[in-house]
Structure 1
Amino acid sequence: MEFGNNRQQKALTAINELNILNDLSRYDPILCGTIPLQIDIEDSDLDIIFYVTNFSEFEDKVLKLYSHLSDFKLERKRIRDEDVVKANFNFKGFEFEMFGQNQPTHKQHAYLHMIVQAEVLKRDESMKCKVIELKEKGYKTEPAFCEVLGIDGDPYIGLLEYGEKKGFIN
């Protein structure tokens, strides 16, 4: 993103000012989502995923570093039968969503979805406009991709299955 568009550069500046990638480096952070792929819309957030094995320790660290920021919220919950820690806050015009689970970041769904999406966009640049158009109509990213690709069913699972079938992920 260092050489990306204006919004990507602003996002990188905000991430660097917060020092998230360094302060939380032991959790193998990866920036995922729409901004790295240039398919973001005005209210797109910055999604950063983390590999967390000790939720209490991670929560304490996140509270210490970011609880003073605007609209800070931290919660632990279960998603698809997995414990997760989620923190949200606003900084420099961006909503941040930090998502930690006990799974290596390169195996988490958010990362795998981004890999599949990047491969789809690389192979067919016209998809970009179609996905953005659907997102502006209220679609989330994965359902927008599935709509454009003609994938039925659960879009979060369907996109992964599509990526596996096409050899984008294994």
Structure 2
Amino acid sequence: MAQSGEMITTADVMAHLATGNERQQDAYRVLKSSGLLDILADYHPYPAGTVPIDIDVPGSDLDLLCYAEDLDAFEAEMHDQIEAVGEFRCIRGDGNLPDQRPYVTCNLQVGHWPVEIFAQSVPVNRQNAYLHMLVEWRLLQLWGDAGHLEIRRLKQAGWKTEPAFASVLGLQGDPYVNMLHLAEMKREDLWNWARSRTSL
């Protein structure tokens, strides 16, 4: 993993999963054995979401973010390549969220894991889901076990991830936009600010 303890690259995330808890190690084995990372290699796949940061709940997806300049070509290739892995479906979105662009989401089942592949004509490290995961991981590193337990408690009660973090931090307004703003902060500044917002 990167010296900062952050999961900046796919290699960082995979190394983290390989040495993580039981579910994280299982996710690592599934990603390796399915060949999905190899199939998606040209699209810079990045494992994101709740599993790498250990706030997943039963039924949580394994999320893979991809950078695809041509979404039509990406979707066609998924139909050609992923049928070998399992049944799947793809959905097109117009990207009507703030700073969002059109995207393709492909969902499939690999073993007992639901997998969601998200592709956009935006480099992965500028995609909202990537930025959200990095800032959430920074906050969890600050909060420790208490933070993991509280976020997981909210998620088990039906909260989505970003609204759960926003609730703990006492943020008003759109939680997805708020988390993007927090992602712009340096880690030390974020931690100092977060300490003033919660006792976790």
Q: Please give the TM-score of this superposition, normalised by the length of structure 1.
A: 0.93
Q: Secondary structure at the match of 2:51?
A: helix
Q: Which residue of structure 1 lines up, in the alignment, with residue 172 of structure 2?
A: 152
Counterpart position of 1:82: 101
Partner of 1:100: 119
**Other-structure match for 2:156:** 136
Correspondences of 1:11-160 after superposition (within 5 Å):
11-67=27-83, 69-70=86-87, 72-79=88-95, 80=97, 82-125=101-144, 126-160=146-180
Equivalent position amino acid for 1:103 in 2: V
The whole-number CA distance in structure 1 between the counterparts of 2:81 and 2:24 is 23
Partner secondary structure for residue 50 of structure 1: strand
Q: Any unmatched runs of 5+ in structure 2? A: 1-16, 190-200
Separation (CA, whole Å) in 1 of partners of 2:127 and 2:182? 16
Residue deviations 1:57-86 (CA, integer Å, cap 9, x gap): 21122112223624x111212122511011
Instruction: Tell me the CA shift for residue 118 of structure 1.
Output: 0.6
Once superposed, what is the RMSD of the aligned Cα atoms?
1.5
Question: Matches of 2:150 and 2:72 in 1, distance apart?
Answer: 41
Which sections of structure 1, spanning at least 5 residues, go unmatched? none
Aligned length: 167
* Structure 1 or 2: more strand by fraction: 1
The 1-side partners of 2:81 and 2:171 are apart by 40
Q: Whole-Å Cα distance in 1 between the matches of residues 112 and 149 of structure 2?
A: 24
The structural deviation recorded for 1:163 is 2.7
SS in 2 for 1:58: helix
Any idea what SS the aligned residue of 2:18 has? coil
Q: CA deviation at 1:90?
A: 0.8
Identity %: 34
Give structure 1 regions of 4+ aligned residues with deviation exceeding 4 angstroms.
Answer: none
